[in-house]
């Protein structure tokens, strides 16, 4: 069985960002590398109802279509349920923004191996969560792991 990976919205969108800083370029290349492993069926991409919700809120049609194309390759789709709602509230109580908390709870519910985000504040808080059942990483760190 392949490793399962959940890319949050900012990670999925990173390759479309303006490469004004080296970090953005490195993260964009890392995400593209991860997606190439998905294409080669070497890792499994996991999507969720909250990911679809957030993507559909994007008013930039090019970014929306790109993100929808990416998540169309997902092997599993996690629907909201009471367990995710409860776990999300626990994450919010730890200072994580609501949508990020729902992403993290959805990824945990799907039992992914890795959750990937470009959001430094979220990443720092997620790495401090005791008893988190998944590994959280930046795109560059995840690419190194893979």
126, 8 contact by CB (below 8 A): no
What is the model's pLDDT at position 146?
A: 86
Quick one: CA torsion of 79, 81, 86, 90, rounded to 10 degrees?
0
Tens of pLDDT, residues 60-102: 999 999 999 999 999 999 999 999 999 999 999 999 999 999 9
Q: Which of 34, 8, 43 is nearest to 116 (CA)?
A: 8
What is the model's pLDDT at position 99?
A: 95
pTM: 0.94
Count of domains for the chain: 1
Is the pLDDT score of 1 beyond 80? Answer: no
* CATH code of the domain covering residue 41: 3.40.50.1010
Tokens of 113: 């191996």
What is the model's pLDDT at position 48?
A: 97
What is the model's pLDDT at position 106?
A: 97
118, 138 contact by CB (below 8 A): yes
Q: Residue 85: which domain range?
A: 3-145
What is the model's pLDDT at position 140?
A: 96
Is the pLDDT score of 19 beyond 80? Answer: yes
Tens of pLDDT, residues 104-145: 999 999 999 999 999 999 999 999 999 898 999 999 999 998
Buried b (16+ CB within 10 A) or exposed e, 103-135: bbbbbbbbebbbbbbbbeebbebbeebeeeebb
């Amino acid at each position: 069985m392949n490793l399962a990976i959940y890319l949050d919205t900012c990670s999925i969108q990173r390759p479309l960002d303006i490469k004004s800083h080296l970090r953005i370029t490195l993260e964009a290349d890392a995400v593209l590398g991860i997606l190439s492993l998905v294409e080669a069926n070497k890792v499994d991409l996991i999507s969720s109802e909250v990911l679809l919700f957030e993507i559909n809120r994007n008013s930039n049609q090019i970014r929306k279509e790109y993100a929808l194309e990416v998540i169309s390759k997902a092997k599993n789709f996690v629907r909201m349920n009471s367990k995710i709602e409860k776990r999300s509230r626990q994450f919010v109580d730890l200072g994580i923004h609501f949508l990020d908390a729902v992403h993290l709870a959805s990824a945990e519910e799907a039992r992914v191996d890795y959750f990937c985000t470009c959001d430094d504040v979220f990443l720092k808080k997620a790495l401090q969560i005791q008893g988190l059942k998944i590994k959280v990483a930046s795109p560059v760190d995840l690419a190194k792991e893979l």
